[in-house]
Amino acid sequence: MLAELVVDASVVAKFYFHEDGSERAQSVLTSGLVLAAPDLLRIEVANLAARKFRLGLATRDRAREAVASLGDLIDEFAADGDLANGAFRLAADSGCSAFDATYLSMAQDRGLRVLTADQRLVQWAQGAGVGHLVQAL
């Protein structure tokens, strides 16, 4: 099964936690598309789930479930080490974070797009000439 779309943590957050755009994220992520992400997604979701719990925006069980069930949502995870050189190049040349650049590096390597709800990433990608790699939620 070949991946059709790379998803970032901003979209996954909307899938698991009620936020503006949650219905759209749930629709896309359950549409049957083959989804991929770098391993980094697991840590980013763990971080945001812990933050949602600490702020009282999610129960401990809901936050834990978000982290534990990522493998049910994402069809393919790529090793961060395989993406590091591309992420470095994109981040060094443009000034975006290496975290965001990891998703872009994966998309670039596979000829896919990154689905994101992060408008800063969309703007950065457009300004850096890689806007074709990003799809806003």
- Whole-number Å distance between alpha carbons of 34 and 95: 30
Percent of the chain whose pLDDT exceeds 90: 85
Q: Identify the pLDDT of residue 93.
A: 83
Domain boundaries, given as residue ranges, for the chain: 5-136
Per-residue model confidence as pLDDT tens digits over 21-78: 999 999 999 999 999 999 999 999 999 999 999 999 999 999 999 999 999 999 999 9
Percent of the chain whose pLDDT exceeds 70: 100
Name the pTM for this structure: 0.92
User: Residue 115 — φ and ψ, nearest 5°?
Assistant: -85, 125
Class of domain 5-136: alpha beta
Other beta carbons within 10 Å of 16: 24
